[in-house]
Structure 1
């Protein structure tokens, strides 16, 4: 059966394996005795004789009944069979077993062995999911084997390793590994590595992304004499394309001033980013208080579906309950530009829309909401949505400039007077929030 293994339909191999295991269990009283085990036969030889290539379709615990050691099992397998065993046996998340696997792979030609192992692990586009602690172990051991050979790698080698073979574990690639890999390589191979890392960006631990970004920037600075020249910059490559090729999604962890040395325009930088990444860049780069940069940001957000873009931008800016603090002049700019984009859609807003915008997304800039904006927002809306706006404004009351509070109050009173025929009718629950806003303003005036 072993001789024709490769020709046996893959969906039949597991069934055959189960029959073989059944025979071995049934013969358990003698299968490990001299009558069925030749003198000096090793565990590996026993596995080869009794299961042959079908062993890769067993769970490695299946052989416990036969006193076969893990090391003995693994010595009977080729690197390709080891990968198949891991995929079939549920051993993806067992660190001890992974250690034994690499002890086997390190015997003989370790580079060839780990190459075959990862090739099988990623065959047919599959990308097995390791738990982070196991993924780290596989990446560390793989790197130890392949890194001494980086100086011999061609572009195709880097491409196949960083875009296929290491994809299941590449999120565990550390800044130190990246420093090693990018030392003394040309910009073509560097870009291959960056694009590979970009593919697994979302799985890279957030506390590691900054370190990786620093390594990338270090390479670019070191290569400053050529990185912006034709040898490293393709014809007609825009600033945005340059950023995408050399930093990928890690650009959001740079300060936008970091790219000055590479003659990258602000517009070029932003064009390479999604609205989410623009928000992350602002949070990490210290650009919260740069009005010129904010203007460029909104030029980027205005392109395409502006409402969708600013929605994604503010959603990321306020993710996980964060509320970044803008200086008032910058806050005013963000509020003005945001209002220009969203206000035409107020007539389509539901209560939930008003709630999410005025209680979450706009919170960092809502203190810059002007009386004119409020007048616009409360025109022709029902009292339910009106109360949502008022309660949102109440949350930022202390940050609203004192000289603006009276005008906001006048707009609120104007709405209430205009809605006098219904505002005191059933359905006015929670109006206390609006009244509270008015009373606080009146009390402050009285105290002055």
Structure 2
């Protein structure tokens, strides 16, 4: 394979540059891909990148691309196309987020998402969610959490709009609403945040993660744990998936072990359980502390933790 340099690109169209890129190994070489974009940025950068990515993704199977190159392409492409977002119609959003960006979309960041959805309506927002949701499995866990937080924050801020009839085309119930507005990122959302979005836990039971189901049962405001029919329904949904069952009981034990304890007692458990070295456990601890007077609880908890470390 002949490496790409600026000289080899002179006089070529973006489509021809795409062909060279695919045949040169540039999708696995950061220096070569930066040279490609340096060339594409000359003239009408938006049109050039549009034509280039259309040609690159125009095959029955997407080409292999290294993560480092993917990050560069996503970043450089976003810098070019984001200035055109105000002029995008729904067809444009669909073309970019369902076709042209699909190769590099796993490198889409929470910061990019914030910019993207800052001034768009619910229909185009839902297109973006569908697009990034399609590559959810190719994103690392930290990124999916960051994206989930941005989506929830946006939905919370504009909840009345997203619950209006104009934003609920083909949405029959809460499960549809979650799927359309959060996609697979719904699994990364705290149960308490779903409640703030006016989502009824039992209505979306099939869409909840094991952790969310545990928190549904332990929600003191609903008394779900004392309702036989609710408990039966939750456990029936868990029994359908052995993997969910294992995770459910793991979370249930973690959260249930804190019930009825003071923040000082929770601090002692935290110190003795290894939670200070386990992100899942410490998130469970703070989820518990946030019930009631969160400020007072965290104050007492951290006081107890720091007093212990001084002994």
- Normalised-by-shorter TM-score class: 0.7 to 0.9
Superposition deviation, residue 256 in structure 1:
1.4
1:249/1:324 CA distance change after superposition, 3 Å: farther
Name the counterpart of 1:279. 210
Inter-partner Cα distance in structure 2 for 1:265 and 1:258: 11
Larger RCO of the pair (alpha carbons < 8 Å, separation 6+): 2
Alignment of 1:57-68 (within 5 A): 59-61=1-3
Q: In the alignment, is residue 108 of structure 1 matched against residue 43 of structure 2?
A: yes
8 Å CA contact retained: 1:70, 1:100 = yes
Q: In the alignment, is residue 172 of structure 1 matched against residue 107 of structure 2?
A: yes
Q: In the alignment, is residue 299 of structure 1 matched against residue 225 of structure 2?
A: no
Task: Using structure 2 for the length normalisation, give the TM-score.
Answer: 0.73
3-state SS in 2 of match to 1:325: helix
Alignment of 1:135-146 (within 5 A): 135-146=70-81
Query: Which of the numbers 199, 204, 229 marks the counterpart of 1:264?
Result: 199
3-state SS in 1 of match to 2:51: helix
Alignment of 1:121-132 (within 5 A): 121-132=56-67
Name the counterpart of 1:372. none
Query: Which of the numbers 118, 124, 135 marks the counterpart of 1:189?
Result: 124
Aligned CA RMSD, in angstroms, stands at 2.8
Inter-partner Cα distance in structure 2 for 1:185 and 1:173: 18
Task: Using structure 1 for the length normalisation, give the TM-score.
Answer: 0.52
Inter-partner Cα distance in structure 2 for 1:91 and 1:323: 48
8 Å CA contact retained: 1:79, 1:113 = yes
Query: Which of the numbers 154, 163, 178 marks the counterpart of 2:89?
Result: 154
Name the counterpart of 1:340. none
Query: Which of the numbers 242, 256, 261 marks the counterpart of 1:327?
Result: 256
1:187/1:101 CA distance change after superposition, 3 Å: same
Superposition deviation, residue 230 in structure 1:
0.2
Query: Which of the numbers 106, 109, 134 marks the counterpart of 1:199?
Result: 134
1:95/1:288 CA distance change after superposition, 3 Å: farther
1:327/1:314 CA distance change after superposition, 3 Å: same
Instruction: Tell me the matched-pair count.
Output: 254
Q: In the alignment, is residue 230 of structure 1 matched against residue 165 of structure 2?
A: yes
1:249/1:149 CA distance change after superposition, 3 Å: same
Inter-partner Cα distance in structure 2 for 1:177 and 1:221: 19
Inter-partner Cα distance in structure 2 for 1:84 and 1:231: 43
Superposition deviation, residue 150 in structure 1:
0.6
Inter-partner Cα distance in structure 1 for 2:249 and 2:67: 28
Q: Unaligned regions of 5+ residues in structure 2, if any?
A: 260-311
For residues 324-369 of structure 1, give each alpha carbon's deviation from its aligned partner in whole angstroms, at most 9, with x where no partner exists.
Answer: 6242699xxxxxxxxxxxxxxxxxxxxxxxxxxxxxxxxxxxxxxx
1:235/1:282 CA distance change after superposition, 3 Å: closer
Inter-partner Cα distance in structure 2 for 1:300 and 1:317: 10
Superposition deviation, residue 267 in structure 1:
1.8
8 Å CA contact retained: 1:213, 1:254 = yes
3-state SS in 1 of match to 2:19: helix
8 Å CA contact retained: 1:171, 1:203 = yes
Q: In the alignment, is residue 314 of structure 1 matched against residue 245 of structure 2?
A: yes
Inter-partner Cα distance in structure 1 for 2:86 and 2:37: 23
Superposition deviation, residue 128 in structure 1:
2.1
For residues 97-120 of structure 1, give each alpha carbon's deviation from its aligned partner in whole angstroms, at most 9, with x where no partner exists.
Answer: 010000011001101000011101
8 Å CA contact retained: 2:218, 2:224 = no
Q: Unaligned regions of 5+ residues in structure 1, if any?
A: 1-58, 62-68, 331-448
8 Å CA contact retained: 1:83, 1:120 = yes
3-state SS in 1 of match to 2:195: helix
3-state SS in 2 of match to 1:97: helix
Name the counterpart of 1:81. 16
Name the counterpart of 1:424. none
